[in-house]
Amino acid sequence: MKISVIGTGYVGLVTGTCLAEAGNEVLCIDIDKAKVAKMQNGAVPIYEPHLETYFERNIKSGRLHFSTNIEEGVDHGEVIFLALPTPEDEDGSADLSYVLGVANQIGGLMKDYKIVVSKSTVPVGTGERVKATLQAKTNVPFDVVSNPEFLREGFAVEDFMKPDRIVVGVESERAKNAMEKLYNTFVRTGNPIVFMDIKSAELTKYAANAFLATKITYMNEIANYCEKMGANVDDVRMGMGLDERIGKRFLFPGIGYGGSCFPKDVKALHKSGKDAQHHFAILESVIQVNEQQKTVLFPKMETYFKGNLKGRKITLWGLAFKPNTDDIREAPALYMIEKLLAAGATVTAFDPEAMDNVKAKLGDRISYATGMMAAVADADALLICTEWHAFRNPNFDNLKTALKSNVIFDGRNIYNPKDMTALGFDYYSVGR
């Protein structure tokens, strides 16, 4: 099939590349001329495992192309995916200006039947607004479809190629048949394509993300209580996770969630509820607790250094909001950095992929190391903010030699407290 993808951010680029890998002719559109030029020359603008391999292969095969010309995109695609940003507005709502703006352009350019698919995470009712926007600009027949993504950063290619489910909101048999044809190749193992109405599909994405964020936040609350009562959250987590009704995933406590989805989507669902005179009390608590959790280790650091962090060199391992990505949006590390700088500390950081993005945001307010061990040289403390695999088994003898004070503040609970004590470290984690 001929597919157009409008927007080449994280979701758009993965979607376009993976659809090309499945044999479709894909044209990706973006207004950023410099970015498009780089992609045309074979440069992947984001870090995502396995994406580069697919990207290069499909450019060489002639199935994956890039352009800044939206008219070209509308002419090309039988199916047009909207993979556009829906950033958080000042009041917490999702900003739909990009989605509706592009819909307005598409409506004025359509010459024959199109299926316009919202891949972006959007509030309930957005499909109706996209439909009305298109209808105001054209008499050409079209269908609007909601097809939310469920891609985990760091596993996005795998999730797209082998999805546990595909959710599609449709209004017509014509659109349903086309989407089924497009996605059948991805569900040959029997995982379902779940068809539903458009509003239900839109809400499914928000409901799923909000539930997972709530699960994480609940465990963080339990972890904080464990510390007060002298319990071990790892034991509690194991005991809970063995209950099939609960499950083992998303029960790992730490310094809060970040990224492009959970913070924004929880706030957007909360605001959508408020607009409909529905009070999501549980989501209000999730938002509040997560904000506090991002800096939960800071008071422990202050206490350890007797209330005076001025002039202390603190090393951060990890800047991305999670491993296997360069995404720093709402990353807890950034919140900790601001706290440390405000207290007069100096910060040196290392992250395998995210340092360039942090440099673009913070500039020379902090220092950046070339490697994880170089980062800890003469540091007063090590703070772990992201659980990259490279951090799990360092040479602890070398680590003790490099650190001025043998103290580690572990925001991701990647080490065993007993082991760290035996190795001679002062070790602080979350809930243990």
Instruction: Supply φ then ψ for residue 159, to 5 degrees.
Output: -65, -35
3-state helix, strand, coil in the chain (%, to 5): 45, 15, 40
Q: Which of 191, 207, 183, 69 is nearest to 117 (CA)?
A: 183
- Backbone dihedral angles phi then psi of residue 245, each to the nearest 5 degrees: -70, -20
Q: Which among 18, 28, 261, 385 is annotated as catalytic?
A: 261
Alpha-helical (H) ranges within 145-197 are 156-161, 173-183
Query: Cα–Cα distance between 332 and 309 in angstroms, integer?
Result: 19
Distance CA 211, CA 198 (A): 20
How does 389-399 read in b/e, with b if 16+ C-beta sit within 10 Å? eebeebebeeb
Which of 335, 334, 344 has its CA nearest to residue 302? 344
Query: DSSP code of 363?
Result: G
**3-class SS of residue 259:** coil
28 a catalytic residue:
no
Buried b (16+ CB within 10 A) or exposed e, 239-253: ebbeeeeeeeebbbb
Annotated active-site positions, please? 261
